[in-house]
Every structure is written in C-alpha cells, then in structure tokens.
Amino acid sequence: MNYTWGGLDVSMDHRGEHRLGIDRTIMNLVRNMNAHVPLRRSLKELLRERRPYVTGRDGRRQYISRDELELISEIMPIEEWGRIRLPILLEMTTEFEETALWVRGDNECRVVQRILGTRKSGKKIVLYLPEIQRLRRRLPTTTQYAFYTHLNH
C-alpha cells in the first residue's frame, strides 16, 4: 500500500509499520511545537494575582497583561469568571487550505466575538487571517497559538 506524506510517496508494508513510525514522529513534532502552550487558568484566579501568569508545559512563565484581564472581565459576567480558561487557545490545524484556525468553548468564543465585533456564535468558531491579526493585536497575552493534527488511518 502507498500513501503520500509531506509530498513524498511512501510505501507501507502489510503491517503498516512505516505508517505507525511516521505517526509517532508527527505526534512528537506537534508535542514539541506545543511545548510553549501553558496550562490554562481561570480569569477569576488570574485576577487575584498581583503579577498574573501561566506556566508553559516547558516550565516557562508567561505573564498576562492586567489590562487584558480587565477587558475580558468587562465582557464576561462575574459568575463566568471561574469558567473561562486563559489563555484562549487559537487552534491551528491542517484542515484549512487558507490561514484559519479554531477557537473553542462558549466563554472563549463569546470573548472573541465581542473583541472582533462579529456575530459568529457557538462553542466553536473559525477565524481567518484578518480576524486573527485583529484579535492578537487586542489580546496578545491572553491568546496563544496551539498546533493540532489529525492522523487518518
């Protein structure tokens, strides 16, 4: 059986061992690309801190702007402060042919909609390059890129 990977045709033995090795390699690459992605914390928790920060999986602290936290707190009802997790993840995937990404979560999508002044709704929304740029200009420390891949067998 043959398949294409990175523009190359790859032959696979009857057990699929080549594919499994490539899948492992891709997953390790994505994991390494996401080493900076922090463990997310609630808005409520971050607002309590004098110098709010999140910690990346690589152990590095990423400080969050108090101004951005206050902007988000003005958008979100106080009873939702414990439910919204920051930073908002901007999920880059290979499923789009153009520069686009996903934002997931009711509260996260609500914040993004308000910041961008859009009418997109739902628990999962797509953002395209101009929207991504506007969002990152307004919320540079409370948004974070993360990379995702889906391996099909």
Using CA atoms, how far apart are residues 15 and 29, in angstroms rounded to an integer? 23
Instruction: Domain of residue 112: give its range.
Output: 41-147
Look up residue 82 and give its two tokens. Answer: 């414990």
For residue 122, what pLDDT is reported? 81
At residue 151 the predicted structure's pLDDT band, cuts being 50, 70 and 90, is low
**Does residue 57 have a pLDDT over 70?**
yes
Same domain, 8 and 61: no
**Does residue 70 have a pLDDT over 60?**
yes
Same domain, 114 and 46: yes
pLDDT tens for residues 3-31?
Answer: 544 444 444 554 556 666 666 766 677 67
Same domain, 57 and 101: yes
pLDDT tens for residues 100-133?
Answer: 899 999 999 999 999 999 887 789 999 999 999 9
Same domain, 6 and 61: no
Same domain, 94 and 119: yes
Residues 6+ apart with CB under 8 A from 34: 57, 146, 147
Average pLDDT over residues 37-52: 96
In a domain, 152, yes or no: no
In a domain, 153, yes or no: no
Give the chain's domain count: 2
What pTM was computed for the model?
A: 0.77
Same domain, 59 and 29: no
For residue 147, what pLDDT is reported? 85
Same domain, 19 and 49: no
Using CA atoms, how far apart are residues 35 and 120, in angstroms rounded to an integer? 30
101-129 as b/e, with b when 16 or more CB fall inside 10 Å? bbbebebbbbbbbebbeeeeeeeebebee
pLDDT tens for residues 71-107?
Answer: 999 999 999 999 999 999 999 887 777 888 999 999 9
Same domain, 133 and 77: yes
150: Cα separation from own chain's centroid: 15
